[in-house]
Amino acid sequence: MKKDLKFNSLTIHGGQEPDKAYGAVMPPIYQTSTFAQKSPGAHQGYEYSRSGNPTRHALEQALASIEKGAHGLAFASGLAAMDAVLKLLKPGDEVVATNDLYGGSYRLFTKVFEPLGIRFRFVGMRDLAAVEAAIGERTRLLWVETPTNPMMNVVDIRAMAALARKAGAMLAVDNTFATPYLQQPLELGADIVMHSATKYLGGHSDVVAGALVVRDSGLAERLYFIQNASGAVCGPMDSYLVLRGIKTLHVRMQRHCENGRAVAEYLRDHPMVEAVYWPGFADHPNHDVAASQMRDFGAMISFRPKGARYEDAVRFVESLEVFTLAESLGGVESLAGHPASMTHASIPKEEREKSGVTDALIRLSVGIEDAADLIADLEAALRQLG
């Protein structure tokens, strides 16, 4: 591959060569568990598909390339990728994490790793002094999610990298919402980038997969050891689907961002809408940080219809016809969700309201349909509330 390609070319060519066997342009789906050996140990680079598979390897190289890293690792899901990072730690080690994390991440931390002796401190990471105060002698890892779900808070990755370095800890960033098209955490000082490839990287709501990308080869080796030893690898078919998705990431993201802006501005100007959460607005509390570390502002938006109660928000999402009511995000089709009854239903009402997840909050993953159709759908759903 030619060196120094720009991002929009790397999504298509990054880390990829035509297949060695017949020159197939798209890496073939090597749907095999094992590989023939000429004599014991004499193989062509692959022995067993948990340890390594050519289709997964092609994806791992593409991931490293688009995140400006040196090593990529593909997992069975985003949570499996996170699980591998946490297995770098030992009992007694501490993690300082964003307080409004993705619910599944919070569950993995508190229900799986806390009982094994890892300690977690959750802080609002817009407050740098609070993060610094939470870091102790045993802090080994800072876990950052930005923008956050569903309140779209933005965390300053450069500032977190400086705090991590000072404490001798690693910085991991969940880059699922932003994607490397909008933000490249390794360039901003992070040690590990994590993805739920289920979302924008796959982009078509047809696969569950996860990813890690790092630069340091020692760290890559430890993670590879865990990936192989624990075994939550991305299968060949799923690797192929994510690779295929990545090839159009830049085109999709460009349209996602255009539609995201159109929908966010429409909602902000609507008399029946009380508040809109989107980092592209100049009055978003961390707009400056977003503008300094992101290329554009994405298509994840949360909002609250004026005076709406729990039942109104439910009625709103039920009445949408172009937006589909569903969990997840980042696909070409627009999705709507009601966090209070869906993603955040397991969090006590008082707890979730503290972080802004009130009964009336609605979250949108704006897709790449025609923006006029999306806005007409929202308009009809808002009208039937009033």
Task: Give yes or no for residue 199 binding ligand PLP (CB under 6 A).
Answer: yes
* Residue 365 CB partners (closer than 8 Å, separation 6+): 299, 300, 328, 329, 330, 331, 334, 335, 336, 337
Task: Give yes or no for residue 339 binding ligand PLP (CB under 6 A).
Answer: no
Tell me whether residue 102 is one of the annotated catalytic residues.
yes
Give pairs for 339-346: CB < 8 Å, separation 24+: 339/150, 339/302, 339/363, 340/310, 340/313, 341/310, 341/314, 343/103, 343/149, 343/150, 344/103, 344/150, 346/103
Q: In this structure, what are the phi and psi dihedrals at residue 201, rounded to the nearest 5 degrees?
A: -65, -50
Amino acid occupying residue 131: V
Tell me whether residue 90 is one of the annotated catalytic residues.
no
- Taking the alpha carbons of 95, 277, 246, 70 in that order, is the dihedral positive or negative? negative
Q: Which of 87, 199, 261, 304 is catalytic?
A: 199
Task: Give yes or no for residue 363 binding ligand PLP (CB under 6 A).
Answer: no
Contact with ligand PLP (CB under 6 A): which of 64, 159, 208, 300? 208
Q: In what order do the strands lie in the sheet with 71-75?
A: 71-75, 210-214, 192-196, 170-174, 139-145, 94-98, 119-123
Question: Nearest approach, Cβ of 343 to ligand PLP (angstroms)?
Answer: 9
Question: Nearest approach, Cβ of 149 to ligand PLP (angstroms)?
Answer: 6
Task: Give yes or no for residue 104 binding ligand PLP (CB under 6 A).
Answer: yes
> What value, to the nearest 5°, has the Cα angle with vertex 241 and ends 151 and 196?
25
Binding mask 72-91 toward ligand PLP (x if CB under 6 A, else -) reads -----xxx------------
Binding mask 120-149 toward ligand PLP (x if CB under 6 A, else -) reads -------------------------x---x
Amino acid occupying residue 341: S
Tell me whether residue 50 is one of the annotated catalytic residues.
yes
Tell me whether residue 247 is one of the annotated catalytic residues.
no
Length of the chain (residues): 386
- The radius of gyration of the chain from alpha carbons, rounded to an integer in Å, stands at 21
Question: Quick one: which segment of 91-99, 126-134, 195-203, 270-278 binds ligand PLP (CB under 6 A)?
Answer: 195-203
Task: Give yes or no for residue 202 binding ligand PLP (CB under 6 A).
Answer: no
Task: Give yes or no for residue 192 binding ligand PLP (CB under 6 A).
Answer: no
Q: Which of 30, 100, 102, 304 is catalytic?
A: 102
Q: Which residues here bind ligand PLP, judged by CB under 6 A?
A: 77-79, 102, 104-105, 145, 149, 174, 176-177, 196, 198-199, 208, 210
Active site (catalytic) residues: 50, 102, 174, 199
